[in-house]
Amino acid sequence: MNTQSEVAIQFHKLIEEQRISSVYQPIVSLQDGQVMGYEALTRGPVDSPFHSPLAMFQYAEQQGELYRLERLAREKAIQGSILEHGQQLLFINISSHVLEDPGFIPGKTLEILQQYGLRPSNVVFEITERSSIEDFTLAKKILAHYRTQGYRIAIDDAGAGYSSLQAIAELQPDFIKIDRSLIENIHLNKVKAYILETFVTFAQKMNISLIAEGIEQVEELAKLTQMGVHYAQGFLLGRPSTSVATVQDTHKMTIWQHRNVQGGTMTWHIGELKTPVGVFHTKVQISEVAEFFKKNQEAVGVVIVHENEPRGLVMRDRLFQHLAGQYAFSLYWNRTIDSVMDDSPLIVDELTPVEQVSQMATSRAIHHLYDLVIITSQGKMAGSASIRTILESITNVKMESARVANPLTGLPGNLQINRELNKRLTARVPFHVIYADLDYFKWYNDRFGFQKGDQLIQYMADLMQQAIAFYGTPTDFVGHVGGDDFIAISTSLSPKLLCQEIINRFETGVRMFYEGEEWEYVVDRGGTQVKSEGVTVSLSLVICNCESPISLDYISQTAAQLKKKAKAHQGSIYCFQTIG
């Protein structure tokens, strides 16, 4: 018996005895650092030439056994699934050729899912690049069928070749996985960053979520978070395993600090749109919910809870469709509501940005597109929001932001600044205000021209937002008072470090605006020569404890006094005072 025959025997024994297993690598949200799901990865027996999945699948394809191996791999992935709750997703790899497999039939995967307590809404079919798709018409037809059942689609290895880009255009997936080759050292490679920026913009327009693969460095994680990529996967965040993943607190902090700050728009969270909604326990009879809908004609849906934690959703129209059949009334009337509820509704925390919720909601299957969005506070039931309310709020906010934003920087102007300050004062939660003013800006403008002056203003706007992203919190705010004056409103635990970060970034970057020129003196607004190397920045830090009432005027007066004190010193500096 030759070696080739031995290998063939080992392979067939592997299939017959189902000697493969699955390990699971976490996929982490770059919004909050939580595990959103897992990719199932197939492994062969340790004591065989097929332990490597690459070797195993290549051999299966050569022998015409790819379909059998892929079916077995799907079953093993579902059997060993370590999903912790109904909102997490299981990514299952399938090669493009398997779409033509007669065994890839409707209902077969569903049977296995139901056997192990999962639903189609938990599963994402990840189309890998083992082979390119040859018949897109057939692929779209097959995948459309799976989508109607609630499955989602991901395209793997985007950025690694033309075929994946064609697959994105033809199949319009729910997820795009960005290949490691584009992610590696992205914090050092501007070309890679520009390419990924294009993916981010495209994904936003198409309501597609991006997953960056192969994250191995903290700097890569920080850069991707800043750029607005949705999810990340890699050894840094978790290696493939058979146990539930826990993201390190240090990595969560990196994500939290570098989240894409919405400095140019009004901060708007879904919790601000929540409205009361009918709530019923999981074991309430269907008849009770039906009676509620009859008495409350304006109610479009109710939330099903257990110990005040949402477990499902029942929409009015869908419930009455259940009860409309010939025998449905007698069949369903006395059953408990959890037997007909949607047990995987969209559930979001109240601090989730409205635009993010909109993307999540509108990427749902068509028959769930107009379902209520359930809003929680620290995991407990808080309210709901309709798609109409969400979309209207986004439109209104964008119109308002465009109307009152500073035309040069796009940052919120005085109307929004005052609104934000009043909101903080009303909440009576400690915060602090940083007022930034450029010194000798008029001298710079006169010497280098208004176009270079505008560029320096825009640079200041950018670095304020970058500093907030690094040392601030997701609810922080950056505004443009006018001219060379800016304001940041933050709840950072390190306000002095935030001020120092602004100064450091300014001092590091301002030199590039001097075009290599040097001087000993500049001219202040009064026409007096002052010894200085150039433009500096003065910061007023007003720390508001909110233990006693504070007015907007008092904050403004305190900031003005601190600015005068800062400007009396040479160089970039901050002065601070605690009030309230």
So what's the pLDDT on residue 11? 87
Q: Which residue, among 469, 459, 434, 452, has the nearest Cα to 562 in the 3D structure? A: 434
**Listed range (156-160, 198-202, 454-458) with the worst mean pLDDT:** 156-160
**Listed range (2-11, 142-151, 296-305) with the worst mean pLDDT:** 2-11
So what's the pLDDT on residue 159? 60
CB 342 within 8 A of CB 370: no
So what's the pLDDT on residue 549? 86
Q: For residues 89 and 85, give the distance between their C-alpha atoms in angstroms, rounded to a whole number.
A: 9
Q: For residues 232 and 33, give the distance between their C-alpha atoms in angstroms, rounded to a whole number.
A: 9
**Is the model's pLDDT at 164 over the cut of 80?**
no
Q: For residues 166 and 134, give the distance between their C-alpha atoms in angstroms, rounded to a whole number.
A: 11
pLDDT-based confidence at 366, cuts 50/70/90?
confident
Q: Which residue, among 512, 495, 514, 500, has the nearest Cα to 440 in the 3D structure? A: 514
More confident site: 360 or 478 = 478
Give the pLDDT mean for 100-109. Answer: 64
pLDDT tens per residue across span 400-453: 666 667 888 888 888 889 888 988 888 888 999 999 999 999 999 999 999 999
Determine the 3-state secondary structure of 458 from DSSP.
Answer: helix
State the alpha helices, DSSP H only, in 172-207. Answer: 180-183, 190-206
pLDDT tens per residue across span 527-560: 888 888 899 999 999 999 988 888 888 999 999 9
**Is the model's pLDDT at 115 over the cut of 50?**
yes
**Is the model's pLDDT at 266 over the cut of 50?**
no
pLDDT-based confidence at 129, cuts 50/70/90?
low
pLDDT-based confidence at 138, cuts 50/70/90?
confident
CB 458 within 8 A of CB 409: yes
**Is the model's pLDDT at 103 over the cut of 80?**
no
So what's the pLDDT on residue 169? 80
The DSSP string of 353-383 is: BHHHHHHHHHTS-GGGTTSPEEEEETTEEEE
pLDDT-based confidence at 263, cuts 50/70/90?
very low
pLDDT tens per residue across span 395-412: 877 776 666 678 888 888
* Averaged pLDDT of the chain: 86
pLDDT tens per residue across span 32-51: 788 999 999 999 888 788 88
So what's the pLDDT on residue 6? 81
The structural domains of the chain, ordered by start, are 26-37+89-258 (3.20.20.450), 270-392 (3.10.580.10), 405-512+522-579 (3.30.70.270)
So what's the pLDDT on residue 289? 94
More confident site: 384 or 121 = 384
CB 261 within 8 A of CB 476: yes
Q: For residues 346 and 315, give the distance between their C-alpha atoms in angstroms, rounded to a whole number.
A: 13
So what's the pLDDT on residue 520? 84
Q: What residues form DSSP beta bridges with 35?
A: 28
Distance in angstroms between the alpha carbons of the first and the last residue of the chain: 88
Q: What residues form DSSP beta bridges with 92?
A: 40, 125
So what's the pLDDT on residue 161? 57
**Listed range (85-89, 101-105, 259-263, 530-534) with the worst mean pLDDT:** 259-263
How much of the chain, in percent, has pLDDT values that exceed 70? 92
Which helix (H) or strand (E) segment is 167 a member of?
Answer: helix 162-171
So what's the pLDDT on residue 373? 97
What is the identity of the amino acid at 169?
A: A
So what's the pLDDT on residue 104? 62
Q: For residues 33 and 511, give the distance between their C-alpha atoms in angstroms, rounded to a whole number.
A: 36
**Listed range (106-120, 299-313, 528-542, 566-580) with the worst mean pLDDT:** 106-120
So what's the pLDDT on residue 42? 92
Q: Which residues contact 451 (CB under 8 A, 6 or more apart)?
A: none
How much of the chain, in percent, has pLDDT values that exceed 90? 44
Q: In what order do the strands lie in the sheet with 485-490?
A: 477-482, 485-490, 431-439, 536-544, 573-579
So what's the pLDDT on residue 460? 94
So what's the pLDDT on residue 107? 65
So what's the pLDDT on residue 261? 47
So what's the pLDDT on residue 43? 92
Please report the beta strands in 65-223, taking only residues with DSSP state E, as ranges in sequence order. 89-95, 123-128, 152-158, 175-178, 209-212
**Is the model's pLDDT at 135 over the cut of 80?**
no
Q: For residues 372 and 346, give the distance between their C-alpha atoms in angstroms, rounded to a whole number.
A: 8
So what's the pLDDT on residue 45? 87
**Is the model's pLDDT at 264 over the cut of 50?**
no
Please report the beta strands in 184-308, taking only residues with DSSP state E, as ranges in sequence order. 209-212, 231-232, 278-281, 301-306
pLDDT tens per residue across span 493-537: 889 999 999 999 999 999 899 988 888 888 888 788 888 889 999
Residue 6 vs residues 11, 49, 514: alpha-carbon distances, Å:
9, 11, 73
